[in-house]
């Protein structure tokens, strides 16, 4: 009887371990994992680029990011950027680190493992990085979005001029709206979300007599709340929507259900609705990552901040050809891009 009880307890313990192991299994990809994850895609790219690679030896890069690597938004933009690099990369990914302490553990773990470059893809990871980076002077840490390296010699920072693409999307939205009411949904009033939204509002109001209603839900991950925020805009006669954060998929669903044009940011969101996504501001981090890695090759491990913008090609407006724009809208958008690049347009940043 006593033996049976011990066996039962042992089984319960083993089961608990199994539960926890399975739980952890979902949030950590490595390049050796196979399957259809993005890390193995990256290796495939590396193989395909024989004879074209300019970076010499394979560089090991690890990404720690708050949301899923295929979120069609913030995290995916960085995964896509690594895959677009013109060098051989051994990529490891830890995504879905909503908890900063988890992210810090992953960042430290990669540094201990001797990874060449650790990308902490989230403003909220800055505090952890300030503690960890000085302990690993041979490792390059890349942190964003931030315009500040925190004075650390082995940290590069990156940030997007999201207001620029926001402005262009706003110009387009003003041309598309018929009611003159445009709805915007954001997560919290911080980071590139607020830059995008402020730029969008200025672009729209500079281009016509339109009203822009903005809702911040207070959450980066609450998809249902984003969807209801979109519904609230629709009840106020809004006929064009945009939004920022990985939770916008819920709002895009509402837009689809009600035939409302949608403007995307961070990554190309056309796949969410091939007829109603008008255009997306896409981040091409590879533009600045190439510069950072070149500096690293030359012996500079950090200490500089880089901006992606329309001028350096780090930001791009990708149009959906399936959506028929009103006459003159595309020309107005192109003129806005030109004006932002030559400095004649102020995006309000």
Partner 1 sequence: MSDFFTMSILVATVASGIRLATPYLLAGLGETVGQKSGVLNLGVDGVMQLSAFFAYWTVLETDNLFLGSIVGVVVGIVMGVVYAVVTVVFQAQQGISGIGIFLFGLGFSDLMFRRQVGTPRPANQLPELPIPILSDIPVVGEALFEHSALTYLAFAMVPLLAFMLRSTTFGMNIRAVGENPQAADSLGVSVAWTRTFAILIGNAMAGLAGAALVLELGIFQPNLTAGLGFIAVALVYFGAWRPAGVMSGALLYGLVAAVVLQWKAQGIIPRGASDIAAMAPAVLTILALVILAGRVQAPSALTRPFSRH
Residues that bind partner 1 (CB under 8 A): 8-9, 11-12, 15-16, 19-20, 22-27, 29, 35-37, 67-72, 76, 96, 98, 183, 188-189, 213-219, 221-225, 227-229, 231-236, 246-247, 249-250, 252-253, 256-257, 271-273
What is the full DSSP assignment across 97-146? --SHHHHHHHHHHHHHTT-SEEEEESGGGHHHHHHHGGG-TTSEEEEES-
CB of 25 to partner 1, least distance (A): 5
CB of 289 to partner 1, least distance (A): 22
Measured from the CB atom, the residue of 19 and 294 that comes closer to partner 1 is 19
CB of 70 to partner 1, least distance (A): 4
CB contact at 8 A, 233 and 185:
yes
Measured from the CB atom, the residue of 264 and 302 that comes closer to partner 1 is 264
The size of the chain, in residues, is 349
User: How many CB atoms are located within 10 Å of the residue 86 CB?
Assistant: 14
User: How many CB atoms are located within 10 Å of the residue 335 CB?
Assistant: 15
DSSP H or E segment with residue 9: helix 2-25
Residues with Cβ within 8 Å of residue 26, at least 6 apart in sequence: 96
CB of 166 to partner 1, least distance (A): 15
CB of 35 to partner 1, least distance (A): 6
Between strands 28-29 and 277-283, the pairing is unpaired
Measured from the CB atom, the residue of 11 and 112 that comes closer to partner 1 is 11
Measured from the CB atom, the residue of 228 and 304 that comes closer to partner 1 is 228
Measured from the CB atom, the residue of 105 and 232 that comes closer to partner 1 is 232
CB of 62 to partner 1, least distance (A): 18
CB contact at 8 A, 217 and 189:
no
Here the tokens at position 221 are 């991950």
What is the torsional sign of CA 134, 136, 138, 139?
A: negative
CB contact at 8 A, 60 and 92:
yes
Alpha-carbon distances, residue 102 vs 64, 67, 105, 172, 187 (angstroms): 10, 13, 5, 40, 21
Count of alpha carbons within 13 angstroms of residue 201, beta-carbon side: 16
CB of 186 to partner 1, least distance (A): 9
Measured from the CB atom, the residue of 69 and 207 that comes closer to partner 1 is 69
Measured from the CB atom, the residue of 15 and 131 that comes closer to partner 1 is 15
Report which of 97, 106, 148 is spatially closest to residue 126, judged by C-alpha positions: 148
Report which of 184, 60, 64 is spatially closest to residue 123, judged by C-alpha positions: 64
Measured from the CB atom, the residue of 25 and 326 that comes closer to partner 1 is 25
CB of 81 to partner 1, least distance (A): 16
Measured from the CB atom, the residue of 23 and 298 that comes closer to partner 1 is 23
CB of 205 to partner 1, least distance (A): 14
Residues with Cβ within 8 Å of residue 58, at least 6 apart in sequence: 46, 88, 89, 90
């Amino acid at each position: 009887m006593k033996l049976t009880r011990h066996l039962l307890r042992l089984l319960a313990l083993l089961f608990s371990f199994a539960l926890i192991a399975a739980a952890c299994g979902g949030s950590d990809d490595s390049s050796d994992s196979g399957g259809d994850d993005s890390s193995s895609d990256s290796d495939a790219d590396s193989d395909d680029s024989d004879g074209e690679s300019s970076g010499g030896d394979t560089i090991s890069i690890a990404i720690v990011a708050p949301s899923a690597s295929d979120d069609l938004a913030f995290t995916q933009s960085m995964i896509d950027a690594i895959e677009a690099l013109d060098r051989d990369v051994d990529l490891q990914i830890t995504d879905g680190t909503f908890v900063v302490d988890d992210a810090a553990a992953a960042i430290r773990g990669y540094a201990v493992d001797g990874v060449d470059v650790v990308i902490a893809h989230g403003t909220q990871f800055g505090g952890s990085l300030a503690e960890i980076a000085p302990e690993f002077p041979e490792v390059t840490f890349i942190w964003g979005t931030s315009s500040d390296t925190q004075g650390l010699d082995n940290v590069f920072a990156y940030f997007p001029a999201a207001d620029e693409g926001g402005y262009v999307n706003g110009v387009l939205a003003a041309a598309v709206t018929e009611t003159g009411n445009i709805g915007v949904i954001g997560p919290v009033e911080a980071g590139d979300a607020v830059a995008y939204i402020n730029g969008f509002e200025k672009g729209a109001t500079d281009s016509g007599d339109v009203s822009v209603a903005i809702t911040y839900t207070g959450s980066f991950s609450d998809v249902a709340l984003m969807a209801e925020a979109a519904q609230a805009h629709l009840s106020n006669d809004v006929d064009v929507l945009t939004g920022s954060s990985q939770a916008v998929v819920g709002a895009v669903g509402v837009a689809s259900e009600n035939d409302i044009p949608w403007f995307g940011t961070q990554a190309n969101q056309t796949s969410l609705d091939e007829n109603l996504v008008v255009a997306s501001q896409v981040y091409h981090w590879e533009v600045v990552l190439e510069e950072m890695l070149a500096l690293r090759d030359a012996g500079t491990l950090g200490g500089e901040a880089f901006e992606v913008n329309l001028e350096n090609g780090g930001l791009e407006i990708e149009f959906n050809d399936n959506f028929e724009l009103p006459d003159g809208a595309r020309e107005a958008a192109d003129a806005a891009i030109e004006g932002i690049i030559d400095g004649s347009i102020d995006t309000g940043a």
